[in-house]
Amino acid sequence: MISMRILHVITTINRGGAENHLNDLVHAQRAAGHEVAVAYLKGDGYWAESLAAIGVPTYALGLGYYGDVRPVAKLAALIRRLSPAVLHAHMPPAEVYSRLALALARRKCRYIVSKHNDEPFHHGIGQAWMARWAARRADGIIAISGAVARFLRTQGLPADKIRQVHYGLDPIPYGQVAAAQVEAVRQEWGIARGTMVVGSVGRLVPQKAMHVLLQGFAQFADAAILPTRLVIVGTGPLEGELRLEARKLGIEDRVVWAGFRTDIAAVMAAFDVFVLTSAWEGFGLVLLEAMAANRPIVASRISAIPEIVAEGESGFLVDSGAAGQVAAALAKLADADLRERMGQAGHRRLGQHFSIGRMMAATDAVYGLEA
């Protein structure tokens, strides 16, 4: 494998789907012998420590507000100094700043754009034109799912440049969680042994449609024979509204609001079933985390999710917003044997279709590298 110098540019390196993926990708690229750096426009730099540990420098570009031109000059200077063979931009704001910085830097390099969502470039006038302009200089456009690739074509992005590259995940850390760790997490949540734990991980924002999860769980819990608890891991602006919804549904004492956590492997192992009721998803990296932990999944039949969850094999797909279908799926998964079979099927599917190796090989092909 030929090694090369790669500069990734992303809007933030806070914890989140695209950001977590970038951390995994950079770790894999370093393991393959590439020289890698990461620049980010704004945020708290959550992944900086993890990246520094493997010798990857991070550069905060200091974006104060969208339209702030200072990061363009900073990024252009960084491009001149590092002279990367590949500049890889992630997320729309980073695409805009990367294209402008490339023009200012006047350095030749292969320019790659990763598209992480099947949603408009922005929510103002001319968003499709802006998406085309930002990607026009790109040598390759990575769509993280078939759903994203189809959406990009409707936006008029050049079909000959679009390549589908699914996220990948290393399952090894999920297999190293000890039973004592799982028990400790459940005790922290106040969950007794023998309780069926339904869990979800995500930001408490409209996209994740957590109210559908609450409603579906309430219907399931009403009829459930065995003890059940719902654990919601994450924070966000809708937390107060969702807590109120839980009270209205009469399940306040059955819901654990676990807040932000970094021990996701242990968290997934402490769940019996993972549920994702999102209204849309570019991919849903958290689904791979559930599969790595051998957990069956209940998820919305939208966007890229049917590409990840095999209906009736590794989980159940439900219509978006259909709380009754969520309840029915959870009722089926009250069967511990079914949970085990589906969890194992999901783990096998992860290894077959969503490995780090597959992701790296496909990304290298977009970069122009040969195996």
The answer regarding whether domain 5-168+355-367 maps to CATH 3.40.50.2000 reads yes
Model confidence, pTM: 0.92
Percentage of the chain lying above the pLDDT 90 cut: 88
Residue 36: the pLDDT is 98
Domain boundaries, the chain: 5-168+355-367, 172-353
Both tokens of 130, joined, read 């802006």
Q: Which long-range contacts (CB under 8 A, 24 or more apart) does 118-122 make?
A: 118/145, 118/147, 118/148, 118/150, 118/151, 118/152, 118/280, 118/282, 118/303, 118/304, 119/151, 119/280, 119/282, 121/92, 121/155, 122/92
Residue 371: the pLDDT is 47
Largest distance between two CA atoms of the chain:
67
DSSP 143: E
Residue 77: the pLDDT is 98
CATH T-level fold of 172-353: Rossmann fold (3.40.50)
Q: Which pLDDT tens digit goes with each residue over 197-249?
A: 999 999 999 999 999 999 999 999 999 999 999 999 999 999 999 999 999 99
Q: Which pLDDT tens digit goes with each residue over 275-284?
A: 999 999 989 9
Q: Which pLDDT tens digit goes with each residue over 94-127?
A: 999 999 999 999 989 999 999 998 888 887 788 8
- All residue ranges of the chain with pLDDT < 70 are 1, 370-371
